[in-house]
Every structure is written in structure tokens, then in C-alpha cells.
Amino acid sequence: KPILFSGMQPSSDSLQLGNYIGALSQWTQMQEDYDAFFCVVNLHAITVPQDPADLVARTRRTAAQYIAAGIDPQKSTLFVQSQVPAHAELAWVLNTITGFGEAGRMTQFKDKSQKQGADAASVGLFTYPVLMAADILLYQAASVPVGEDQRQHVELTRDLATRFNSRFGETFVVPEAQISKGTAKVYDLQEPTAKMSKSAETEAGLIKVLDPTNVTKKKIMRAVTDADGEIRFDREAKPGVSNLLTIYSVLSGRTIESVVEEYAGRGYGDLKKGLVEVVEESLAPVRARTEELLADPAELDRLLATAADRANEVANRTLDLVYERIGLIR
Ligand code: ATP
Ligand code: MG
């Protein structure tokens, strides 16, 4: 089977709808056809400040949400990044072949460092994409299912793999980003031109997988729309309504046209009410299953430890080869 790698940061108590639509729901389908590695990337999470006690809890919660959404730990390797030291080790090596200017062109760094203030942003945040390249290349992954916002980082990963291979000899598989059209970017409900993010400063536009029903309902009913009052899809002129339609369409498995047709001539309130139901239908079972899994943290930790053993085995094989190629004594 071809190999797949993907991950999410435990940077919040809950995943958000964009993580679910843009990544997680793709993962559950793809795990059947791939030898899949799904990682909780806690080393990435600490590139911005995290509370230690929260970080531990969020790491388990993120893993639990993967399983609750349908990742099968018997089929896929679901592990925690910090339990596999090779990620940090390969990242160091890749740092040495990454150009400063090249890393400086990454838009996620520009966005996140701007939010933090240039002096507050860490060097770790700057080299985040290099660590991500290490994650992917260690497993010789052919496919990386991510949202649109990670496309540039996968491109950098490809460049680094190609560069390493040509300097030191064939070592890495050059991976490909798998970004599903149309669903690749879910926007913030209050700021529908910015992507939804689980670590957003304000939560009003953020649909969290683990939010209770009444909170989700309130957020959807208050979503920003526009003044013209017509339900139709137009990402430029009507970003708010278009985002609601996209979410409705993916979660219900219907085309945007059919949703538009159903709500033609009706108000935004009706569309939002319908959307609340569609969202709840998808998320409520995930929420319930997550709570069950979290009730038995020992079992969860056992699953993660077993997966980490397998991940370490595969990752170390690649790292051994890398060290040999470069001339580093192992
Ligand atoms: P943070 O705010 O901490 O960066 P995040 O919500 O951006 O959190 P990540 O852990 O950075 O989540 O990314 C996990 C996965 O979810 C990645 O594959 C990313 O591309 C995808 N993703 C994140 N936000 C969205 C979104 N709004 N729409 C679609 N996919 C998304
Ligand atoms: Mg992110």
C-alpha cells in the first residue's frame, strides 16, 4: 500500500469544523487504501506558547477525536509526535539545507508572527515548515491529505526532498499534497475571508467539534452574511453565505446547487437553521464518542504507545539512512 502521513496540532481543547472537513474526513476514507500515519503534532504546537497541563490534555483529546471521527487504530498508525524523537532529529538536518529566504516566504509564518508581534514570534515558529517536512519524509509518504492552507508547506517539503536526494543520493520519496477541491478551506463565520482556525483569538466564528449543541447553534445563527438577502453561491461578493453553503453541501453530501434550490426565496435564518441540523448530525456522534474515549485515558495511552513503537521503527529506518548519507556517525 502507498504511504500517507498527516497530522494536527493539539493547540486547542477541540478540533474545529475546518479540520474535520478539510482533513479528518478525508483521512477516514483514505485509511482504507493507504498505510496511514496520523500524528498529533505536539512539537508543532509549542511553536506558540502553550500551557503545559493544557497541552497534555489537548494531546489526548486530539487523539480521541481522530478515533471518534473514524480513524481505526488497528488499521492506521495514530501516534504522538513527541514519542518519536526522529522527528526533531531529522528536522535539524533539514534545517541545514533550507534557505533562510525560502523559509521566510512561508505565509503561515507571516500570518502567525504578525498576530504575535515580530519580537514575540519564536524561531520554532519560523522553522515550523521544516519540522513538518521531517514528519512527512520520515515515513516516505507519497500522499499528504491537508487543507489548502498547508499547500505551501508540502511544496517546501517536496523541494527539500528533491534537494537532499540530488545532493546526497536517492533517500526520500517526494510526497504529494492531497487537497480536495471545494472543501479545502472553511472560513471563519465572523470573518468569512479568513480561514477558520482552532487557535483563533475570538471564538464567535469558530465551530468546535466538541462544543455543545446550543453553543454551535448560537454561533451559526450569528454568522456574518450580507445585506442583499439572496441565497446564492458567490465567493467574491458573498463570502459569508458562500461559506455556509459550502459547509452545508459537504456535510450533507449534496451539491451546492441543490441546497441553493431548496432555500431559494427564503431568508438567511432558514438556511442557518438547516445548517445547525446538518452540522449537529455530523458532529454530535463524534462528540459522544470522544467523551467515551476520554473516560478511559489508560486505554488511550496504551493505544498511542503501541502506535509509537511502530512509528519509531519506520522513522528510525529513514533516519539511519539519512545519517549514513550525510556522514554523521550514528
Ligand atoms: P492552529 O490555529 O493552531 O494553526 P488549525 O485549526 O489551523 O490550528 P492545524 O492543526 O494547523 O489546525 O491543521 C490541521 C489540519 O487542518 C491541516 O491539514 C490543515 O490544512 C487543516 N485545516 C486547518 N484549518 C482549516 C480550514 N479552515 N479549512 C480546511 N482545512 C483546514
Ligand atoms: Mg494551522
What atom in ligand 1 is closest to the CA of residue 6?
18
Q: For a ligand 1 pocket test, name from 65, 113, 149 the mutation site with the most ligand atoms within 8 angstroms of its C-beta.
A: 149
pLDDT of amino acid 308? 98
Q: Which atom of ligand 1 is nearest to the CA of 108?
A: 4
pTM of the model: 0.97
115 lines ligand 1 (CB under 6 A): no
Ligand 1 centroid vs 267 CA: distance in angstroms? Answer: 31
Could you give the ipTM of this predicted complex?
0.99
Give yes or no for a contact between 205 and 244, defined as CB atoms under 8 angstroms apart: no
In single-letter form, the type of residue at position 75 comes to K
Tell me the mean pLDDT per 10 residues along the chain, length 330: 98 97 94 98 97 98 98 98 98 98 96 86 97 98 96 98 98 96 89 95 96 98 96 97 97 96 96 98 98 98 98 98 97
Ligand 1, atom 18, lies closest to the CA of 146
- What 3-state class would DSSP assign to 258? helix
* Nearest residue (CA) to ligand 1, atom 13: 8
Residues carrying an active site annotation? 112, 195, 198
Ligand 2 center–CA 226 separation, angstroms = 27
The CB of 17 under 6 Å from ligand 1? The reply is no
Determine if residue 106 is labeled as part of a ligand binding site: no
- 302 Cα to the center of ligand 2, angstroms: 28
Please state, in angstroms and rounded to a whole number, the distance separating the CA atoms of residues 217 and 199: 20
Of 170, 206, 208, 209, give the one whose Cα is nearest residue 69. 209
Residue to mutate (ligand 1; options 19, 136, 181; most atoms within 8 A of CB): 19
199 is annotated as contributing to ligand binding = yes
Ligand 1 atom with the smallest distance to the CA of 188 is 27
Distances (CA, A) of 29 to 69, 101, 137, 146, 258: 11, 37, 22, 13, 24
> Residues with Cβ < 8 Å from 192, sequence gap 6 or more?
205, 223, 224, 239, 240, 242, 243
- DSSP secondary-structure letter at 203? -
Residue owning the nearest CA to atom 23 of ligand 1? 19
Is residue 42 annotated as involved in ligand binding? Answer: no
Between the CA of 186 and the centroid of ligand 1 the distance, in Å, is: 9
Q: Are 193 and 239 in contact (CB under 8 A)?
A: yes
Task: Give the per-residue pLDDT at 181.
Answer: 83
